[in-house]
Amino acid sequence: MLSTILEQTVNGIVTGSVYAIVAVGMTMIFGVLRAINFAHGEYYMLGTFGAWFSIDYLGLSYEASIIVGVLATIAVAYVVGQLVMRRMVGAPAESGVLATLGIALILQNTIILVFGGGYKFFAGGYIEPVSILGFSLAQQRILILVVCLLVFIGLELMVSYTRLGMAMRAVSQNVECCSVVGIDVPQVVLRTFMLGAALAALSGVLTAPVNVSVYGGMGELITFKTLPIIIMGGLGNVRGTFVAAMILGVAESLVATYVGLQFRDTVGFATLILMLMWRPHGLFSTQARF
Amino acid sequence: MSLTETAQQARRRDLRIPLAAVLIVLALAAPFIGSRYITHSLIIALIFMLPAHGLNLLVGYTGLLSLAQAAFFGIGAYTAGLLAVTYGTPFYVNLLAAGAVSGALALPLGIPALRLRSTSFVMCTLGFVIIGQAIAKNWISLTRGDMGLSSIPKPYFELGPLSFTVSGTTNFYYLALIIGTLATFAVWAIVRSPAGRNMVAIRENETLAESLGVPTWHYKLIVFMISAVFAGVGGCLYAYYLTVVSPLTFQMYYSTTMLIIVLGGGAGMISGTVFGSLLFVGLTEALRITPELRMIAYGVCLLVLVFWFKKGCAPLINRFWNAIGGVK
């Protein structure tokens, strides 16, 4: 009984790590753009498809496919960022919702058009189980945990010490002042957006061996999982996102075991609605930020 | 305005009344002019117009961007479908029940959601759609899960000894037209009333409206419920038209479509919603070559809408209406 709970908690933390990497990109994009990116799951999907393509068609190794998947997504994100996201600085909330929904439709259906809508088998990754402290855990899951920790440490350092990180923080505080002091706001938005998309793609490639199957519509579910996380974490809050993702991952895993697998996908929004009744501004925010 | 200008205007003919007459005749005669397929598209347009009217009250007049319309659309569809299949109640009972159940459920959902602002409100309303779909899929004893409800009977009316069954596309078109027209007048009445002006006040500046004594919280909650009633009625019609209800009725696609209709037609304008529903249903029907290409084109349309038609078609409609009326 207790070991089941522990095992499910560990699984939940791994799932939470996956969500955290995706969600942190989305929350940073929200920070600079004040817009929810409804197409965020699509970059997760693109990364996975890039990796699947490079393994299945180009015969590359899994390690190389990670790089191909992430780079391909960055290229797509650059085009989308130049054409669409840059123009959304200072646009009203409806524009952000509609434009990113449009991008999600275009990306998702282009992939379905090119590769077909069926499920594809993802052959790659480290699936051998390892035994740690009496638990057996797949190598891939340990890799996900390690990468998640590295990503968050890296982001913390970047946001605090690099030029782009400081510019991002400045833009998320006040767009007008940044323009006045000469920060190229659209450029910051574009770079943040590409970074966020790259993180989503990385998360996708890391999870693909665990999920095994790859299909064109997989991004939508990820978007819907990410939205409650970034709101619970406090929009634009990197550390809050990490904690919220872990909470959601563990909650989903426990609900799937003890309530029923079919309710797993609703845990996020149900938790979100309950939490918003109690703390309308997110778990970690002391004041209204949005 | 100078005297000469007024005189010039007087000389120009006001074409608005003839145009309205032509439109009414066209609307009434549509099933006999166009093919069966066009009638079908018009029915879909009229059905989607109902939740869009509700959404327009929320987005266009009160300034609350909601994605929950698909949830209430689905609730209405399931209410009507379950009543029709299980109890065989007449159409008008189911129609009223669908509206009433959607409206009633909007109260407990609206109370937590409306405490939130902008982005969080959007997310919360999106959550209703996701949760609604999960309930429809998993409450199998009631909703039959993924199989959905099938063979919903044709709409029939029963008043004492009189009974009438709506059979065939043409008859259904007139049913949808009547309900659509009534709904449009209902929205018109709401918007023209003092309540409508208070709604606009909330949209423009909620704090100011509150300080002027408008009970903003009650207004927002009631508008949320009214919009759900419209969506429920639309869902009922949709269920009767397709004769099936499945968990797919709770789909983001419907919320997106309704948002496109409202924003594309022109938020805060009744004629905009009417025009928008015709335009966008026509567009999606015209793009029915392959489902993928259709959705890609749909996405491109969204981007065009956001970047080139920020106010939707409303300015175009207004300009046209004023031009034929002789007003500069």
**Tens digits of residue pLDDT in A112-162:** 888 887 888 888 777 777 777 777 777 888 888 888 999 999 988 888 888
Quick check: B2 pLDDT over 90?
no
B309 domain-assigned = no
The CA-CA-CA angle for residues A232, A233, A236, to 5°, reads 120
A265 domain-assigned = no
Please tell me the total count of domains within chain A: 1
pLDDT value, residue B151: 77
* 3-state class (DSSP) for residue A135: strand
* Least confidently predicted of B102-106, B284-288, B317-321: B284-288
Smallest CA-to-CA distance from B289 within A113, A99, A117, A105 is with A113
User: Taking a C-beta distance cutoff of 8 angstroms, is the pair B251, B124 a contact?
Assistant: no
B98 domain-assigned = yes
Helix, strand, coil fractions of chain B, as percent rounded to 5: 80, 5, 20
d(CA B2, CA A220): 59
Can you tell me the mean pLDDT for B187-200? Answer: 86
Print the domain residue range for B70.
Answer: 38-250
A166 domain-assigned = yes
B258 domain-assigned = no
pLDDT value, residue B72: 93
Q: What is the pTM of this model?
A: 0.83
Is B114 within 8 Å of chain A by CB? Answer: no
B282 domain-assigned = no
- Top mean pLDDT of A17-21, A225-229, A257-261, B30-34 is at A17-21
pLDDT value, residue B262: 87
B245-279: pLDDT as tens digits? 888 888 888 888 888 888 888 888 888 888 888 88
Instruction: Verify whether the Cβ–Cβ distance A113 to B292 is below 8 Å.
Output: yes
ipTM exceeding the 0.85 mark: no
B257 domain-assigned = no
Please tell me the total count of domains within chain B: 1
pLDDT value, residue A178: 82
A232-250: pLDDT as tens digits? 887 778 888 888 899 899 9
Closest approach of B107 to chain A, Cα-based (Å): 14
Print the domain residue range for A77.
Answer: 1-12+25-222+234-239
Closest approach of A136 to chain B, Cα-based (Å): 32
A257 domain-assigned = no
Residues 6+ apart with CB under 8 A from B152: B80, B81, B84, B85, B239, B240, B243, B244, B245
Residues 6+ apart with CB under 8 A from A135: A6, A7, A10
B263 domain-assigned = no
B313 domain-assigned = no
Smallest CA-to-CA distance from B77 within B57, B55, B95 is with B95
Q: Which member of A36, A105, A273 has the closest CB to residue B119?
A: A36
A254 domain-assigned = no
d(CA B46, CA A18): 43
First to last CA, chain B: 11
A130 domain-assigned = yes
Quick check: B28 pLDDT over 90?
no
Chain A contacts to B (CB-CB under 8 A): 30, 34, 36, 84, 87, 91, 93-95, 97-99, 101-106, 108-110, 112-113, 117, 220, 224, 227-228, 231, 235, 260, 262-263, 265-266, 268-270, 272-273, 276-277, 280, 288, 290
Is B263 within 8 Å of chain A by CB? Answer: yes
A2 domain-assigned = yes
Quick check: B171 pLDDT over 50?
yes
pLDDT value, residue B8: 54
